[in-house]
Chain A
């Protein structure tokens, strides 16, 4: 690595300064309309090499040849370039005109190069810094939510530093990784958005169709996110400070029973057992006195996540340079308290980018980034023991202390045994987790123009990511209870190194015979990813030890007899790929455009012979606005282009070495109570494993109206992916239950619309709108041989089993469960007054193989969907195999966002709204919090409308069928007693929402005032993030995805960290 960087550093020192006989010209550049100075305008001598640029006051100075006629050219992005012929003057002033159509000249990064928007043939969504500069946000990932057509962003929940899943056009794979490829400044960086500060991003271009992504071949099937970071700008050195402070508070609470209602239910529940009844009265008093607890309960949600969480971000950047050298140094610090007690987030980022252009032939640059992140707190959604689950303990812990003791503040062993719940405030400190991540990223490039047309470029990137997670479970946690009730500590470390090198050669020829434009790219690339993991866990620490002490003394745990310490585990892996690629762009008369791309990828993940994959693509575009017939209405239709592309891409984000027979040391045999390691075969090798291949077809149109004031881009696409790798079940008598095979196929079809426009533009008021929406329909085309459906478990609760169904012909994300049918009515039974037993009438369906709870009046009822399975006595049965069906789907019908920006004099305002329509949410919290199989947990307030077995004065009416029926005539919910959690359509809710994501109001100080205080600009602003969400969803927040199981079980809301509303004040200052 160092060997490769050395020449780049050497080049920094090279700086040729040839000079001839010259004279000086000075001047000022201003905006034609506003007459304000424009800094950073490049001034060149036409046909020559000399370059200058304007400073913050719009002034420039340039050396020109002493003799002859010289033409000076002023160029600036967003303005029409201006030329002035110099004769003998020594002062030349420019007055530049804004160029609205210049938006089309924006260069789009298409991978290994850029093209102007005019010449683009593929489907690309872009986000520019100016669209997001107003928004104070700490996560580059969440920045993308709702802003780009075809890019779906789903955060796990509202925790600081939460995981964010990004899908481009729905994702192609079923069980493999669907994340897009991230390229930062030409270098592949895994999960790049997480290690970038939003303030450092210049542009994000998302390549969506194969015509664009095929240049990335095997890695492009899930889309490519190209990120360009901010470079230094020529001109005076600018020091900028962007900072904000904010305060967040959870938006809503889940309504749970208050102290009195809770006790009333516990009273009712205790009627079945004399012991329970007696102890209830002993603890809380008789039923008619329960009202004394009114307003005496505890609101755990308030105590655990009711606090105001502060956050602050500071970003300092120094940016500057001249025509030869420029740099950008940026330092960012984020600090964020969690709204939940004992959780916070802290991140420090450093980024330094430098580019050197000693002459017209050489160009070089490098970037150094460092990222130091710390997440404190166990979170709430991380899978693990349900009994340690933070949110569950918060919502369900009894809202009242017992009558004879103030045990509520303490760890109550008896209540724990009955309800399996821990005081959430105490639990918050009982589970300790600190996750650290230190990442550095180095990249550099070197390009050399061999001739005017041929440019060679070498790009090198190295990324090192070190993570460490410290976990500690104190003796009161459920985790520790499994191991003799003694504390447990674990340290998980990981290091990932990636090395990426690409070498390209481009040949560009314009206006050949005035008709032909020609670009040719050829390149080669290697990519290597190696990772090392080391995990150590020690159990049986002395009771009472502090987390820090345990984690600092990992040898201290001492197992009781017959128990053993787990051994440390390691997992090291390396994967490499080697590629060749080429791209040809050809344009005839700039009207007819064609792009041909081809890439060949070799990967170490496949056996020799099936190692190479070939990924071609072709794209055609027709700029019909350039045709003669279009000229007559050019004033209305300023630009129009139709694009068509077909291409193939691959996916190699799969497990390593599926083609080799392998043994792993991942088990033990307890000889003499000592764990002796065992090595065991881990897989049935499949020597035939090959690439997953996607074929993507895209038809798009880019249309602009009224001199480009309104721009509309629409795309329709149809992508099919075949040879998807799946664990295909094979007969278990082989000794294996599955084998990785290229077996499945999926398709995604969709429509994307992106509309942007400047509604009003005047000297004092500008109003612009950016709107996008995307429709995607995913379909599983083929599963394993002979299998048309397969269940998957989200795993939030073991008893619900496989609650998602992957089915041929249907989209991924189908929720699979029973249909709720209210509850059993008293009239469904015959009552025997002698035995006091309710017997279900034979024609009424009952459970068979579903649940163990016995059926009584008020028991939750499921719909019998027919089928052959009957109860042993012949009565209709509700059976797991026959009476479950698809009851929801997590995939939205469409999603989108609307961003509106206003400028009035020195005021600016933006309002960003995003939405999702038609997605279902699996509200698992609702199932859990209406299930009283244990004695003691609190429940949701909706259980107030339950089927009751006591009347209003606490008298049991269970054995009086007539009274029971009459009393429960208006009951809205079953008796909340089930042995196991059942997933029914009652827990599936429409998760459509419209979120007012962000409102910002800013004020920029006027220029004359700034001049006085020697500042370039100063803006103050206030923002509300997540102001409000319009939704019918009854849980905390409809944007939730807590149990993904590799993407197969989306949309589960179980124990999600509640999202908060944040109010932020900040300033942007530049000197």
Chain B
């Protein structure tokens, strides 16, 4: 090798080095492997579908309708109260003492905008896709459906933000570095108008439920129902930033017409109907069965997978209180029905037994009546679910966002407002709901008022009986500007019940198998027996005796008691909206707290 001179070596090396320089640009261009560019995602129908699932996902989980939006935000109302006393979290919200540091506030707010960003990306990129414009018809149709889903989902996220926080920032384009992210608030009605317009586009691109595979994806009926609901909010009372007063816009009737028309379209579509059994609606829900037959459950948030991000704590955090160690696994406790709500149901109304879980289950699986202040909400309950043992936190139970009975009642309400009185169709829609409830005892349906105010009041009550525990009441009362009044009314009714001798002071029960029965001649709607059963249960001397538990005895007007704490610090023209969490306000100089927070 000696014959090669060093010069040649150097030349070779210099050449090699310059080639390296030349190739280094290419060498340094590395493409991500485990992630996708937007171009990858929006290149075919199936990966767009995944992007759409990504938008849906934020509806589920702890910070979505898996817990926070279904069980935390909707309290307290005249129906339910959050258990326990004030804290810096859910109980603080329920008592309306939440400040901007409340632990429940930040995640859901951010999650909403996270969902909006995901939708904005889909709304930007789907129409740019070749398949959307020039693809096969099937692809075009599917992509239009997905585009409509993105619009609807964005509407849901904005609706959830506005109904909880009032005026919030509006962003309808995907975020890009360099953009001004310091958005200020947009008036609620502007946001409502935007999403009502979006839904009008979306609903026409979506299939009706019978035209597609049955699953939890949004169908035309759901989008129309949502549009009807949002229109009611647009036409209802809103807390104004400037005046700090609950006001409704002068043109509100325009929006009631939207509600009426959308509901009308749904009712005439033949796609949705009431399940003849109210019990069956929720029993099936807890059995994890979709409502393929009636389509009464029009929109559900799908939840599964045993994960706090896309599964729900429904039936675990709330519902029947079940002891750890029983065969069902532990459950219950998040929200307690108010006594006035319990007694608002007609004794013959089967909806009470569904809406309120008035029993507990012990370690040995025996049921016992719950005390008056310790009953639970009952539409989501673990003991109705196929048994899943252990301390499992997430039970895969869907959240029902919209039911057909709500559509019927919205229709009735819209017509009543527009016409100044209910017409026959409105009365029929209202009575359809009541008749389903009392199908075995139609005499209990009663006479429907025909004047505007009477019909409205009947609707206010009926919506509570029908839709209780479905996260609707608080927002209904706000759009009617009745939340403060109804909380007061609930307290007043409960106060009278404390000394209402037509109801029992104690309940006496014994177990028959795992179920329980009351001592003959006693019950929720009967006064104390003249002679209480004696001797009571004693494991040694009288194992067949009756066990006494507190009923009315348990209800007190004391400070810190069940009645006093209900919605304790509610202030009209303030508490209707939530404060935005401090960490969010702090980051954005243009975002103000407002509303007296």
User: What residues make up the interface of A, taking CB atoms closer than 8 Å to B?
Assistant: 413-414, 417, 448, 450-451, 454, 456, 478, 480-486, 503, 505, 524, 526, 539, 560-564, 566, 570-578, 602-604, 608, 611, 656-657, 660-665, 667-682, 684-688, 729-737, 739, 849, 852, 872, 880-881
Q: Mark B17-30, 1 if CB is under 8 A from A, else 0.
A: 10010001101111
Quick check: is B3 within 8 A (CB to CB) of the other chain? no
Given A524-B20, A561-B288, A669-B60, is A663 in contact with B215 using a C-beta cutoff of 8 Å?
A: no
B386/A560 in contact, CB under 8 A: yes
A668 lies within 8 A of B305 (CB)? yes
A733-B171, A733-B181 in contact; A680/B305 too (CB < 8 A)? Answer: no
Known contacts A732-B109, A732-B110, A736-B175: does B50 contact A664 (CB below 8 Å)?
Answer: no
The chain A residue sitting closest to B216, CB to CB, is A671
Q: A611-B28, A669-B56 are in contact. Are A662 and B393 (CB under 8 A)?
A: no
Q: Which of B25, B40, B175, B396 contacts A663 (CB 8 A)?
A: B40
Say whether B183 contacts A573, CB under 8 Å.
Answer: no
Using known A-B contacts A578-B28, A730-B587, A734-B113, determine if residue A676 contacts B88 with beta carbons closer than 8 Å: no
Partner of B51 from A603, A663, A671, A674 at Cβ < 8 Å: A663
A603 with B28: in contact, given A484-B392, A657-B35, A731-B183 (CB under 8 Å)? yes
For the complex of A and B, 9 pairs with smallest distance between CB atoms: A735-B117, A670-B304, A485-B390, A562-B396, A678-B54, A678-B53, A680-B54, A604-B30, A849-B88
A-contact 0/1 string along B176-192, CB 8 Å cutoff:
01010111000000000
Q: Does B37 contact A (CB under 8 A)?
A: yes
Tell me the chain B residues, 369-399 only, with Cβ under 8 Å from chain A: 385-393, 395-397
Pick from A576, A670, A737: contact of B311, CB under 8 Å: A670
Query: Complex Cα distance A561/B20, Å?
Result: 59
Residues of B within 8 A of A573 (CB): 32-34
User: CB distance B35 to A664 under 8 Å?
Assistant: yes
**Docked CA distance A656–B31 (Å):** 10
Which of A602, A661, A670 interacts with B28 by CB under 8 Å? A602
Per a CB cutoff under 8 Å, which of A524, A602, A663, A672 touches B41? A663
- Are A669 and B57 in contact, with the CB atoms below 8 A? yes
CB-contact partner of B30 in A574, A674, A734, under 8 A: A574
Judge whether B54 and A562 touch: CB under 8 Å: no
- Taking a contact as CB atoms closer than 8 A, the residue among A482, A670, A735, A737 that contacts B303 in the complex is A670
14 extra interface residue pairs, beta carbon distance < 8 Å, beyond A574-B30, A574-B33, A734-B179: A417-B324, A524-B20, A663-B36, A663-B54, A667-B57, A667-B310, A672-B214, A675-B305, A676-B50, A680-B57, A730-B181, A733-B181, A735-B116, A737-B110
Contact indicator B388/A563 (Cβ below 8 Å): yes
Instruction: Report 9 cross-chain contacts, Cβ distance below 8 Å, ordered by A residue.
Output: A414-B325, A561-B288, A561-B396, A670-B305, A670-B310, A670-B396, A672-B215, A677-B53, A684-B177
Q: Which residues of the other chain, B, contact A417 by a CB distance below 8 angstroms?
A: 324-325
Q: Is the CB of A505 within 8 A of B13?
A: yes
Taking a contact as CB atoms under 8 Å apart, the answer to whether A733 and B20 are in contact is: no
Contact of A571 among B34, B114, B182, B306 (CB under 8 A): B34
Provide the bound-state CA to CA distance between A993 and B9, in Å: 59
Contact present for B120 and A563 (CB under 8 Å)? no
Task: Determine the main DSSP class of B at the interface with A.
Answer: loop
CA gap between A413 and B588 in the complex, in Å = 51
Is the pair A483, B587 in contact by a Cβ cutoff of 8 Å? Answer: no
B47 at the A/B interface (Cβ < 8 Å)?
A: yes
The distance in angstroms between the C-alpha atoms of A736 and B176, with both chains bound, is 11
Q: How many A-B residue pairs have CB under 8 A?
A: 256
Question: In whole angstroms, what is the CA distance A938 to B591 when docked?
Answer: 50
Question: In this complex, what residue of A is CB-closest to B118?
Answer: A680
Residue among A505, A576, A731, A872 making CB contact with B591, cutoff 8 Å: A731
Asked if B10 is an interface residue, CB under 8 A from chain A, the answer is yes
Chain A residues whose C-beta falls within 8 Å of the C-beta of B6 in the assembled complex:
450-451, 454
Q: Contacts of A577 on B, CB cut-off 8 Å?
A: 28
What separation, in Å, do the CA atoms of A867 and B169 have in the docked complex?
A: 32
Partner of B60, one of A482, A503, A670: A670
Q: How far is the CA of A917 from the CA of B385 in the complex (A)?
A: 59
Contact A731 B117 (CB under 8 A): no
A34 CB to nearest B CB, Å? 46
- Give the chain B neighbours of A667 by CB distance below 8 A: 53-54, 57, 309-310
**Does B121 lie at the interface of the complex (its beta carbon under 8 Å from any beta carbon of A)?**
yes
Q: Which residue of A lies closest to B325 (CB)?
A: A417
The distance in angstroms between the C-alpha atoms of A483 and B175, with both chains bound, is 38
**Of A456, A485, A563, A660, the contact of B32 (CB 8 Å cutoff):** A660
What is the 8 Å Cβ interface bit string for chain B, positions 160-171, against chain A (1 contact, 0 not)? 000000001101
Contact B24 A602 (CB under 8 A): yes
- A682 CB, min distance to chain B CBs, angstroms: 6
Residues of A contacting B174 with CB < 8 Å?
735
Contacts of B171 in A (CB 8 A): 733-735
Report the minimum CB–CB distance from B126 to chain A (whole Å).
14
**B28–A576 touching, CB < 8 Å:** yes
Q: Which residues of B contact A482 (CB under 8 A)?
A: 306, 390-393
Q: How far is the CB of B462 from chain A (nearest CB, A)?
A: 32
Q: Are B306 and A679 closer than 8 Å at their CB atoms?
A: no
Proximity bits, B83-105, A CB within 8 Å = 1, else 0: 00001100000000100010000
Does B217 interact with chain A (Cβ within 8 Å)? yes
Residue ID in chain B nearest A671 by CB atoms: B215
A481 to B325, CA, bound (A): 11
B30 contacts A731, CB within 8 Å?
A: no
Residues of A within 8 A of B121 (CB): 681
Q: State which of B51, B307, B389, B588 has its C-beta within 8 Å of the C-beta of A484.
A: B389
B302 at the interface (CB under 8 A from A): yes
| Bound Cα distance from A662 to B38, whole angstroms | 7
Measured CA separation A668–B303 after assembly (Å)? 9
- A739 B54 Cβ-Cβ under 8 A: no
Q: What is the minimal beta-carbon distance from A172 to any residue of chain B, in angstroms?
A: 24
Q: Which of B118, B216, B324 contacts A681 (CB 8 A)?
A: B118
Q: Is the CB of A662 within 8 A of B53?
A: no
CB distance from A334 to the nearest CB of B (A): 35
Closest A residue, CB atoms, query B48: A679
Chain B residues within an 8 Å CB radius of A414: 325
A665 near B117 with CB under 8 A, answer no
B290 at the A interface (CB under 8 A): yes
Cα distance A677–B325 when bound, in Å? 34
Bound Cα distance A737, B117 (Å): 12
Chain B CB count within 10 A is highest, among A480, A680, A733, for: A733
B391 in contact with A485 (CB, 8 Å): yes
List the A side residues contacting B37 at CB < 8 Å.
Answer: 660-663
Contacts of A664 in B (CB 8 A): 34-36
Q: Is B549 an interface residue (CB 8 A)?
A: no
List the A side residues contacting B362 at CB < 8 Å.
none
A676-B53, A731-B588 given; A849·B305 CB < 8 A: no
Contact status B35-A880, CB under 8 Å: no
**Most A CB atoms within 10 A — which of B35, B177, B388, B396?**
B35
- When C-beta atoms are compared, the residue in chain B nearest to A674 turns out to be B304
CA distance A729 to B587 in the complex (A): 7
Q: Which residue of A lies closest to B114 (CB)?
A: A735
Contact partner, A733, options B32, B397, B588, Cβ 8 Å: B588
How far is B28's CA from A661's CA once the two chains are assembled, in angstroms? 18
- Are A413 and B35 touching (Cβ within 8 A)? no
Verify B584–A731 contact, CB threshold 8 A. Answer: yes
| Partner pick for B385 among A562, A566, A571, A688, CB 8 A cutoff | A562
